[in-house]
Structure 1
Amino acid sequence: MPADQTTPLAGQRAVITGASRGLGRAMAVALAAQGMSVAVTGRDEAAMQDTLTAIQSVGGTGTAHSLDVTEPDAPEALAAKLWQEGPVDVVIANAGISLVKPAIETSDEDFMQVINANVLGTFVTLRAFGERMHARGQGKLLATSSDIGIRGSAGWVAYAASKGAINAMVKTLAWEWAPKLTVNAIAPGAFATDINSHLLSQDAVMQAICADTPLARVGRAEEIGPLTAFLAGPGSDFMTGQILSLDGGIQKS
């Protein structure tokens, strides 16, 4: 199906970090299907090409850019490069890593690796693009959080801390950059993606997730697309500083 050139997003430009696979790829395809030109970033060149192929399969257009958000100057360099080609309308800071390890086994190095990738990586990305978008006077910024950053979960201390920090960051930036920009986050629950396939392949893990989830299943990557398109579009113009759970209703307490 060709990209829809009749939507409010047609002709706009988006940037999505960590879009070489999984939810980042699904978000990129969803925006491309709405007529946006999507710049995808990641560290795996071959996987990014697969994302571009998926974008082209819906009639969309995109470009791939190598980016490691743990290099603090890299997002700024990418923002400067892309902005030379024209304004960016939507930025999604999605790049990050996970760590499943009990707290007493989590070293300082383990903890800071997650914080640097997820918290600092998200911040420098939003700052680099947000500064330019704010000067322009319009734009939408999104971050990928997690339901674990809201409810916590045993064995995820570093990851939960990083996503909780992203939630606070989003709410703070929403205040700082209003009324010109909106800043929101999507907090997915358990989704079937490459990054957690080793966990979801365990029957006990899957049974526990389904028992705590009213919809009794994990999410499909493509199910993040409609919410992403909504947050990127004019329908969310009066929404900012929100952490939107997309988790099948998983219990928070």
Structure 2
Amino acid sequence: MTPPYENAIVVVTGASTGLGRAIAVGAADQGARAVIINYASNESEAQETAWQVRALGAEAVAVRGDVGEDADCIAIAEAAAPFGRIDALFCNAGKTTRVTAHAHQLDKLTGEDFLDVYRVNVVGTFQAVRACRALLEQSDRAAVVATSSVAGVTGNGSSIAYSASKGALNTMVLTLARGLAPKIRINAVAPGFMDTVWFDKMGPHRDKIRASVIERTPLKAAASAEDIAGTALYLGSEAANRVTGQTLVADAGLSMTGG
């Protein structure tokens, strides 16, 4: 059987750790020829991702850049240009601002908080797609996969700003699906809780949240980065070649319970 990403040129933003790394390594494991690994600041972790990609036989190119800056998105696309095309673009870079008590968010959050989160989660995704569009159009299997969140569906996230940004991202995916068709597909994956450094930042609350998620989800599971990477890689592969404009929730069923 032909590997899903055989000979593919793949770009992953926010790929130094967590889900981004799992997507990059997963694409290499599934036959990718080259993976462009974007990172914002942590070069040592990005190089670890690159090492893991190379260990699986794919070329790896690490490129520093903040997707919230249009010039950096252009630089990410330029790193893929020598390969002549992009087959799959994973817009995974994201950020949040945390306010633990939702009742306090109207007082604690500022307009600047919203703009900062939207700059990466929404505008950054838009700019990355725009920068890579010409190379995506050179592929006969072009796909974009954006990392959203179940927070964009339920509104229950780390802050109002974060949840709102992911809701905006889901809507933008719908709009871009129309604008990029018929040459390029675009979808989003919306994870719930994942065992990654993202949730490690919750400190002592992390284990309690994890246990609560496992208890409340129908599948009685907390996802790993590799679990969600599998879903993202499906959306970016030819197995999903008739799927576009969709947001696929991957939260072990938690949103069905109202959680």
Provide the TM-score with structure 2 as the length reference: 0.89
Q: Do the aligned partners of 1:34 and 1:229 also contact (CA within 8 Å) in 2? A: no
**Alignment deviations for residues 168-197 of structure 1 (CA, whole Å, 9 cap, x no partner):** 111111111112111001101100111111
CA displacement 1:182-228 (0-9 Å, x = unmatched): 10011011001111113274244234323432123321111123223
Structure-2 change in CA distance of 1:218 and 1:103 (3 Å): farther
Could you say if the C-alpha distance between residues 9 and 131 of structure 1 is closer, same or farther in structure 2, counting changes exceeding 3 Å? same
Q: Return the alpha-carbon distance in structure 2 between the equivalents of residues 168 and 122 of structure 1.
A: 12
Q: Deviations over 1:97-143 (max 9, x none)?
A: 12221232101111211111111111100111124423666511110
SS of 1:112's equivalent?
helix
- Structure 1 CA distance for aligned equivalents of residues 25 and 149 of structure 2: 21
- Comparing 27-36 and 124-133, the one that deviates more: 124-133
State the 1:251 CA deviation.
2.4
- Aligned-residue offset at 1:14: 0.3
Letter in 1 for 2:36: A
Name structure 1 gaps, 5 residues minimum. none
Distance 2:47 2:157 in 1: 36
For the 8 Å contact 1:184–1:243, the answer to whether it is kept is: yes
Structure 2 unaligned spans of 5+: 100-104
Kindly state the Cα deviation for residue 42 of structure 1 after the two structures are TM-superposed. Answer: 0.3
* Structure 2 CA distance for partners of 1:22 and 1:8, relative to 1, 3 Å: closer
Indicate yes or no: 2:195 matched with 1:197: no
- CA RMSD in angstroms comes to 2.0
Match in the other structure for 1:92: 90
Aligned to 1:42: 39
TM-score of the two chains, using structure 1 as the length reference: 0.91
Q: 1:136 to 1:90 in 2, by over 3 A?
A: closer
Q: 1:213 to 1:117 in 2, by over 3 A?
A: same
Following the alignment from structure 1 to structure 2, what is the Cα–Cα distance between the partners of residues 251 and 168? 18
Q: Which amino acid aligns with 1:12?
A: A
Q: Distance in 1 between matches of 2:239 and 2:139?
A: 21
Give the letter for the 1:85 counterpart. Answer: F
Q: Residue deviations 1:59-113, cap 9 Å, x none?
A: 4331111111121221023213422431111101110112221232101111211
The alpha-carbon distance between structure 1 residues 22 and 115, as it changes in their structure 2 partners (threshold 3 A), is same
Percent identity, aligned pairs only? 35
Partner of 1:159 in structure 2? Answer: 162
Partner of 1:228: 232
Greater CA drift, 135-144 or 63-72: 135-144
